[in-house]
Amino acid sequence: QKYCSVFQIQTLLSARLDTTPYKYLLEFRLSKAAGLLKETDLPVGIIAENTGFHQMSHFGKCFKEKTGHTPREYRSMNALSVTH
């Protein structure tokens, strides 16, 4: 069996995806949060928690940096996408 070190994984991510493990994970989590905001009526705090953000302020800051909108604004803009 061959195992990869943390350094090797970081190198692979950097070479193949042009990103760091932290940025890759953050993008993944924010993408999941955006989907939940569009597709569910879950409270924003629950969505933040379910996608790995332990502080609402950090979630809001990261989400706004990625989308240009707060989570609540994003949900309002996509309100027609919500199905019941």
DSSP of 13-28: HHHHHSS-HHHHHHHH
Average pLDDT over residues 5-24: 83
Whether residue 80 is predicted with pLDDT greater than 70 in this model: the reply is: no
What is the value of pTM for the model shown?
0.78
Structure confidence at residue 21 (pLDDT): 82
Structure confidence at residue 7 (pLDDT): 86
Output the CA–CA distances (angstroms, integers) from residue 38 to 16, 26, 30, 42, 71, in the order listed: 30, 18, 12, 10, 10
Confidence of residue 82 (pLDDT cuts 50, 70, 90): very low
Phi, psi dihedrals of residue 12, rounded to the nearest 5°: -65, -45
Whether residue 13 is predicted with pLDDT greater than 80 in this model: the reply is: no
Asked if 57 and 72 touch (Cβ cutoff 8 Å), the reply is no
Alpha carbons 26 and 41: distance in angstroms, whole number: 22
